[in-house]
Amino acid sequence: MSQTQDLLIEIGTEELPPKALLKLSQAFHQGVEQGLKNAELSFDALRAYATPRRLALVISKLQTQQDDLTVERRGPAVTAAFDEDGNPTKALQGFARSCGVDVDDLETMQTEKGAWLIFRQQQKGAETATLLPDIIQQSLNALPIPKRMRWGDLPGEFVRPVHWLVVLLGDDIVPVELLGVSADRFTVGHRFHHPQPIRISTPMTYAPQLETEGHVMVDYEARKQAIHGQVNELAASLGGDAVINPELLEEVTGLVEWPVALAGNFDQRFLELPPEALISSMEGHQKYFAVRAKNGDLLPHFITICNIASQDPAQVIAGNERVILPRLSDAAFFWETDRKSPLAARQEQLKTIVFQNKLGTVYDKSQRVAALAAIIAQQMGSEAQLAERAALLAKCDLVTEMVGEFPELQGIMGRYYAQLDGEPTDVAEALDEQYRPRFAGDELPQTATGIAVSLAEKLDTIVGLFGIGQPPSGVKDPFALRRAALGVLRIIIERQLSLDLFELISEAVNNFVDILTEDDVRTQVMQYFYDRLRGYVIDQGAKADEYESVLAVSPTQPLDFMQRLNAVAEFRKLEQAESLAAGNKRIGNILRKNEAEQEGLVVEPGLLVEPAEKALAEQVVEAQQALKPLYAASDYAGILNYLAGMRETIDAFFEQVMVMSDDEAVRNNRLALLNQTRALFLGVADISCLQE
Amino acid sequence: MSQTQDLLIEIGTEELPPKALLKLSQAFHQGVEQGLKNAELSFDALRAYATPRRLALVISKLQTQQDDLTVERRGPAVTAAFDEDGNPTKALQGFARSCGVDVDDLETMQTEKGAWLIFRQQQKGAETATLLPDIIQQSLNALPIPKRMRWGDLPGEFVRPVHWLVVLLGDDIVPVELLGVSADRFTVGHRFHHPQPIRISTPMTYAPQLETEGHVMVDYEARKQAIHGQVNELAASLGGDAVINPELLEEVTGLVEWPVALAGNFDQRFLELPPEALISSMEGHQKYFAVRAKNGDLLPHFITICNIASQDPAQVIAGNERVILPRLSDAAFFWETDRKSPLAARQEQLKTIVFQNKLGTVYDKSQRVAALAAIIAQQMGSEAQLAERAALLAKCDLVTEMVGEFPELQGIMGRYYAQLDGEPTDVAEALDEQYRPRFAGDELPQTATGIAVSLAEKLDTIVGLFGIGQPPSGVKDPFALRRAALGVLRIIIERQLSLDLFELISEAVNNFVDILTEDDVRTQVMQYFYDRLRGYVIDQGAKADEYESVLAVSPTQPLDFMQRLNAVAEFRKLEQAESLAAGNKRIGNILRKNEAEQEGLVVEPGLLVEPAEKALAEQVVEAQQALKPLYAASDYAGILNYLAGMRETIDAFFEQVMVMSDDEAVRNNRLALLNQTRALFLGVADISCLQE
């Protein structure tokens, strides 16, 4: 049982970037954890702490020394180690030298293959304290820091200037010097509440001391929960519910060491603005939380988190109310100005915004999207003009003041302005819906028009960028084509649209006149969709081989693809599935070997010899008849169910019939029979892809 | 996958008894945990919180509903269920009725033993919320509360009046009424810092909100660490180390919700008193922590933990210094007075203190202990008079003022006073050492005199109480005989004393003239020691059967017992051990069957027939010779090692010799041989007790 001690590491810095804080903390955590594992130092638990001014780790029951270990190096065989006079050979001497010992220090080891000389050495485990400096330094170097800072004439660089360093193993300081600061046992409390140093006697008292003495809630998660609870509490006291944007919550948690929520008010009249605009002003500029009434309307209040328990909250609140006023007034001004000219009037302006230098301006894009949206709307059986109109207006809000200030409001403001312009409701809605889904799990467009524009918008972007040879690569996906493609698939599938993706792609391609440089853009893009679809269906619980079996017959309607996929999943549950999959594999191989997979080979009843092949031939004919209506209804499950009934006949065929007969006529006839059999299954999917 | 929610339970009370707080919290924790397990409700983690004013639990990811389950009851066999006309028999009807259903609602189940009628029912899992009230109530009832309080005309009772109750499952209040209070979502902050209610929106924000808003550090362990750290920090700032008595630390943790350490000073002159006296005054009366200089002397400072971050610490400190002064003055006064008369002069007073009404006064006890201590000292080869003197003075400090005020100083003050009286150093030391070991793992007496008195003191108490028929029973052990007995064993064994326990017990018994009512006190007490020894050696890693094998030959010298035990442990590692253990078992059985286990049966060489028995007979004779010196040196390991060599011979004997010969003479001769063989082993231990 090896000795253990608790370990504390704290790095005190100038204010860290709030949005990056959690990532930094987690990376530091993982870095040190990995470092300890690599050094084979065991420990009980590791807790990470993070505030704007510090990153810390407390590791309980850390092994204070590595285990000793024996290293063995195998030398020459005894036979090769000594000459006939029994003197060490060059080989042996060389080996001994390489081990830094005399020949006599080597031992011999008996193996079934004979005796060998080996060098055994007890390697003493190193003291943890001596290993820590490297481990810490390594994990600091590995932190995901956009740009590191070097300051003064200090060695080393970090995301922010480092002011103090605490490293305690048990009750003792570990002599480490990092980033020009050497370790001690003194941390620092809250900037205002307790600027004095705090002496930490032992790692376990670190967090509690900082909390009770230092007024620093050093546990990130606890601080976040405190803010969450305080904001909810205040909102409730105001008779409403807080609007808690998760990103804002994280950011605020990264801004304070001791959170104190305070509420404030703003002038009722601002409530005439769209709530999204108010929320953007409050969150974006001031990091305030908005408050909703039970009916969902905004209330004229906000909640702020300050980093200090003020003696005079009233004054702080007054200050907060003062600073938000101009922000809201700006928003109100934008709202006024934007409404002076209708969206439609802004189309010309779109010519001034480049969408992508090869793909032209946003105006050009709108034109293309309008054309494509119209086609989609038609195919969906909804009004093409509405879709076209929506598409033409879709980007106009980009040139409004409000969206200029708050880009995240694109589409949303479009909706409001379109409504005020008296555009049809569907058109207005579509302007917002075009961007959906905005993120994984986001709502899909509701209205037919919204769907058409959203699909067209995304398809145009995808096709365009593939067309100019700029598909997304690994992490590089500036136009978020991955998300767009997934969005297209989700909309078509979950809204149950029988649209043909390949056809839409082709339409989109046609809209780019003399622009696209790549050939076979269609297939490239289609392939890209198939890859996204693969991920999508596997998330839904489908098996990879099921996906492959359907992909093999490459249906271009996503909805149809899903129906086949479900049929295959059902089919696989049948007891006949396994041997039919095997049978299909076998047939496939035979046909491939004999390049007989081309259509149109006819079966000559007269050439059928064996009973088993006659039986199969009959069943095939029956099946072809029986399945017609099922195909018509694309009842894939029904089809596979029916084909399952052919299992015995097919098995019997392979047991009793030798396909490769010497008589060529007979042989080709049998190949034809197999070809037709296989065709029956391929009408749904290539079930030979199914693994047991 | 069943739904889960976080659960919060908080019971707000009037100040809970600080020393009991942790126990209460743990019991509440276990009670609820058990309740949830019994209800088959799974959860992720359970965290307990405790402050003087609240007990709380936060349980994460608690299943919100029990799993459904199917209950099956087996009815009559089909054959017995219907008569020849196929009508249900009485048996079947009865069964159906007992299930509360019609005969038609029953199903039949095929088993290899035939068909049976069974009743199957889907039992819907209950909502967790409906189960919680009972679970909580049960665990409250089970709390280890010395005396429960009922207050006002409220139903139910608890350790202290309950003022509020929070029970949240997810974000919803669970409608519970406990102890006359109904659950809500409002807790209360620190009595002074934040007396207002705090609204808890969801369980996870409970602790963080109480901390940041309520100034309540609700985590007991964290609070304890905070105090630990603050006290150490202050002590360091005073240039010393804090004297942190674990019990005091726990008690103080149970007294505050927001710990703030403050230091104070007292007059240098008090440093003339024994440090233990000062520490007792500070800890006992004021719950202050004392401070030592690096050289171990006390410093004229103390550290207190207040439950509030005061605006004016200076004033608080002044107050603390004011209240400790009279305490220290008292101690000084005791110190003065006690020194006016020497310890020896206090013996008469001991006649006024009853030790135990049947066992007489402390004076009587001192006399007995003195006699016994003298004997022990003799046997140890140290000075009997010193031991006797020490024993006579041993209890005198009980009648000093200082010990009267601080019982925990008994023995310690005795040492100081004896030194001042000019008693020999050994005597003075012995007065303190007589009480050692005071607790598990405490130091043992060092001086020969101290050892003698300590052993005598304990033996006298144990023998006395057994002698009047008041041995400890289960939990009832008012005179801590268990600890005393273990102490005696530890002293003898770890101080390597070759004392015969049974002999000492006998001596102790003899000291009680016409007092002891029980017969065979000696064996009772010896047995009690054997039981303690069992626990002791097993803690040391010995196996139960090894202990048994030595116990079987009941050595009365604990040290000797240990040597045999170690020898057996070594022996068991030998490859011969197993078959020899078996052999001994076999021999033991034969001898027992033939009541031939009495000594003195002589082996008649003339009567030996088989070569195998001749061989054994020879080896036995050899062994008897060879082992003499080893026995003389009680080299038990050596003996067993030698005997291991007899394995083949013994095995051969049993393979080739039939003990139960029809010829009685031959038979008895063989029994005699086996008897001697066995005697060889029993000289060390009965290895037949060893299990494979």
Can you spell out the DSSP letters for A121-153?
EEEPPPBHHHHHHHHHHHHHHTS--SS-B--TT
Q: Give me B687's structure tokens.
A: 């290895």
For chain B, what percentages of helix, strand and coil (3-state, to nearest 5) are there?
55, 15, 30
Q: Give me A570's structure tokens.
A: 């059902």
C-alpha A503/C-alpha B651 separation (Å) is 93
The torsion region of residue B447 among left (phi > 0), alpha (psi -120 to 50) and beta comes to beta
Instruction: Count how many residues are written for chain B.
Output: 692
Q: B73: pLDDT confidence band, cut at 50, 70 and 90?
A: confident
How far away is chain B from the Cα of A224, in angstroms, using its nearest Cα? Answer: 9
Q: For residue B149, is pLDDT > 70?
A: no
How far away is chain B from the Cα of A193, in angstroms, using its nearest Cα? Answer: 12
Q: Give me A240's structure tokens.
A: 């409403």
Spatial CB neighbours of B282, under 8 Å, sequence gap ≥ 6: B288, B289, B290, B302, B324, B327
C-alpha B504/C-alpha B373 separation (Å) is 10
Dump pLDDT digits (tens) for B463-489.
999 999 999 987 789 999 999 999 999
- Residues in chain B with CB shorter than 8 Å from the CB of A217 are 208, 211-212
Spatial CB neighbours of B524, under 8 Å, sequence gap ≥ 6: B466, B471, B518
pLDDT of A515: 87
Distances from the Cα of A86 to the Cα of A80, A83, A111, A344, angstroms: 11, 5, 21, 102
How far away is chain B from the Cα of A312, in angstroms, using its nearest Cα? Answer: 15
Nearest-CA residue of chain B relative to A199?
Answer: B233
How far away is chain B from the Cα of A240, in angstroms, using its nearest Cα? Answer: 13
Nearest-CA residue of chain B relative to A236?
Answer: B199
Contact state of A209 with B201 under an 8 Å Cβ cutoff: no
Residue A503 contacts residue A517 (beta carbons within 8 Å): no
> Edge-to-edge strands of the sheet including B54-63?
B45-51, B54-63, B4-13, B162-169, B172-173
> Which residues of B touch chain A, with CB atoms under 8 Å apart?
198-202, 204-209, 211-213, 217, 222-223, 225-226, 228-230, 232-233, 236-237, 258-260
How far away is chain B from the Cα of A249, in angstroms, using its nearest Cα? Answer: 14
Q: For residue B33, is pLDDT > 60?
A: yes
At residue A353, what is the residue type?
A: I
Nearest-CA residue of chain A relative to B241?
Answer: A201
SS3 B188: strand
C-alpha A395/C-alpha A350 separation (Å) is 8
Mutate to test the interface with B, among A212, A215, A218, A291 (most CBs of B within 10 A): A212
- Residues in chain A with CB shorter than 8 Å from the CB of B233 are 198-201, 209, 213
Reported ipTM exceeds the 0.90 cut: no
At residue B248, what is the residue type?
A: L
Residue of A199, A213, A232 lying closest to B201 (CB–CB): A232
H or E segment to which residue B393 belongs: helix B384-393
- Top pLDDT among A593 and B563 is at B563
Q: For residue B154, is pLDDT > 60?
A: no
Residue B46 contacts residue B29 (beta carbons within 8 Å): yes
Q: Quickly count: other Cβ atoms within 10 Å of residue B475's Cβ.
A: 5
**Beta strands B197-199 and A260-265, pairing class:** unpaired
Nearest-CA residue of chain B relative to A200?
Answer: B229
Residue of A199, A211, A228 lying closest to B236 (CB–CB): A199
Contact state of A201 with B226 under an 8 Å Cβ cutoff: no
pLDDT of B425: 95
H or E segment to which residue A361 belongs: strand A360-361
- Residues in chain B with CB shorter than 8 Å from the CB of A213 are 226, 230, 233, 260
C-alpha B635/C-alpha B641 separation (Å) is 10
Residue of B198, B204, B230 lying closest to A209 (CB–CB): B230
How far away is chain A from the Cα of B222, in angstroms, using its nearest Cα? Answer: 6
Distances from the Cα of B28 to the Cα of B148, B186, B225, B247, angstroms: 15, 21, 22, 21
Residue of B211, B223, B230 lying closest to A213 (CB–CB): B230
C-alpha A464/C-alpha A513 separation (Å) is 11
Dump pLDDT digits (tens) for A530-584.
999 999 999 999 999 999 999 999 999 999 999 999 999 999 988 888 889 988 9
Q: B441: pLDDT confidence band, cut at 50, 70 and 90?
A: confident
Contact state of B209 with A200 under an 8 Å Cβ cutoff: no
Residue B368 contacts residue B360 (beta carbons within 8 Å): no
Contact state of A207 with B200 under an 8 Å Cβ cutoff: no
Q: Quickly count: other Cβ atoms within 10 Å of residue B98's Cβ.
A: 11
Residue B678 contacts residue B587 (beta carbons within 8 Å): yes
Nearest Cα neighbor of A373 from A393, A353, A356 is A393
Contact state of B230 with A212 under an 8 Å Cβ cutoff: yes
Contact state of B226 with A217 under an 8 Å Cβ cutoff: no
Residue B345 contacts residue B488 (beta carbons within 8 Å): no
| DSSP-H helix ranges across A438-479 | 448-467
Q: What are phi and psi of A332, to 5 degrees?
A: -60, -40
Q: Quickly count: other Cβ atoms within 10 Å of residue B72's Cβ.
A: 10
Mutate to test the interface with A, among B60, B184, B209 (most CBs of A within 10 A): B209
Q: Give me B111's structure tokens.
A: 């088993």
Distances from the Cα of B325 to the Cα of B252, B261, B441, angstroms: 21, 19, 35
C-alpha B280/C-alpha A530 separation (Å) is 80
How far away is chain A from the Cα of B224, in angstroms, using its nearest Cα? Answer: 9
Contact state of B201 with A228 under an 8 Å Cβ cutoff: yes
Q: For residue B429, is pLDDT > 70?
A: yes
Range B179-196 average pLDDT: 92
The one-character DSSP state at B205 is G
Residue B491 contacts residue B483 (beta carbons within 8 Å): no
- Residues in chain B with CB shorter than 8 Å from the CB of A205 are 225-226, 228-229, 232
- Top pLDDT among B455 and A311 is at B455
Residue B542 contacts residue B565 (beta carbons within 8 Å): yes
Residue B129 contacts residue B5 (beta carbons within 8 Å): no
H or E segment to which residue A431 belongs: helix A425-433
Nearest-CA residue of chain B relative to A213?
Answer: B260
- Residues in chain A with CB shorter than 8 Å from the CB of B311 are none
Query: Whose structure tokens read 């970090």?
Result: A158
Helix axes B501-511, B448-467, angle to 10 degrees: 70
**Highest mean predicted confidence (pLDDT) among B155-159, B288-292, B539-543:** B288-292
Contact state of A208 with B217 under an 8 Å Cβ cutoff: yes
Nearest Cα neighbor of B371 from B357, B358, B389, B396 is B389
Q: B581-608: string of b/e by CB count within 10 Å (b at 16+)?
A: bbbbeebbebbeebebbeeebebeeebb
pTM (2 decimals)? Answer: 0.79
Contact state of B226 with A208 under an 8 Å Cβ cutoff: yes
> Which residues of A touch chain B, with CB atoms under 8 Å apart?
198-202, 204-209, 211-213, 217, 222-223, 225-226, 228-230, 232-233, 236-237, 258-260
Nearest Cα neighbor of A360 from A528, A521, A513 is A513
How far away is chain B from the Cα of A284, in angstroms, using its nearest Cα? Answer: 25
Contact state of A209 with B198 under an 8 Å Cβ cutoff: no
- Residues in chain B with CB shorter than 8 Å from the CB of A199 are 232-233, 236-237
C-alpha A487/C-alpha B195 separation (Å) is 53
Query: Whose structure tokens read 């029970």?
Result: B167
C-alpha B283/C-alpha B542 separation (Å) is 41
pLDDT of B446: 94
- Top pLDDT among A307 and B71 is at A307
Q: Give me A681's structure tokens.
A: 């299954």
pLDDT of B482: 94
Contact state of A230 with B237 under an 8 Å Cβ cutoff: no
SS3 B158: strand
Mean pLDDT of chain B: 92
Mutate to test the interface with A, among B171, B187, B194, B201 (most CBs of A within 10 A): B201
Residue A567 contacts residue A636 (beta carbons within 8 Å): yes
How far away is chain B from the Cα of A6, in angstroms, using its nearest Cα? Answer: 14
Q: Quickly count: other Cβ atoms within 10 Å of residue A366's Cβ.
A: 23
Mutate to test the interface with A, among B58, B185, B212, B234 (most CBs of A within 10 A): B212
Give how far the C-alpha of residue A395 lies from the chain's centroid of Cα atoms, to the nearest Å: 28
C-alpha A650/C-alpha A619 separation (Å) is 10
Dump pLDDT digits (tens) for B189-233.
999 889 999 999 999 999 999 999 999 999 999 999 999 999 999
Spatial CB neighbours of B593, under 8 Å, sequence gap ≥ 6: none
Distances from the Cα of A60 to the Cα of A168, A207, B153, B359, angstroms: 12, 13, 50, 52
Sites in chain A below the pLDDT cut of 70: 1, 112, 146-157, 596-600
Query: Whose structure tokens read 């067309």?
Result: A467
Nearest Cα neighbor of A331 from A258, A250, A405 is A405
C-alpha A389/C-alpha A63 separation (Å) is 70
Q: What is the dihedral of CA B125, B128, B134, B139, to 10 degrees?
A: 120
Distances from the Cα of B346 to the Cα of A62, A227, A236, B396, B430, angstroms: 55, 67, 73, 6, 17
Q: First CA to last CA across chain B, in angstroms?
A: 47
pLDDT of A259: 96
Range B339-359 average pLDDT: 94
pLDDT of B100: 85
Residue of A208, A230, A236 lying closest to B213 (CB–CB): A230
At residue B589, what is the residue type?
A: N
Q: Give me A535's structure tokens.
A: 């991920």
Total CB pairs under 8 A between chain A and B: 101
pLDDT of A193: 87
Residue of B201, B212, B222 lying closest to A260 (CB–CB): B212
Contact state of B208 with A198 under an 8 Å Cβ cutoff: no
Residue of B206, B213, B229 lying closest to A205 (CB–CB): B229
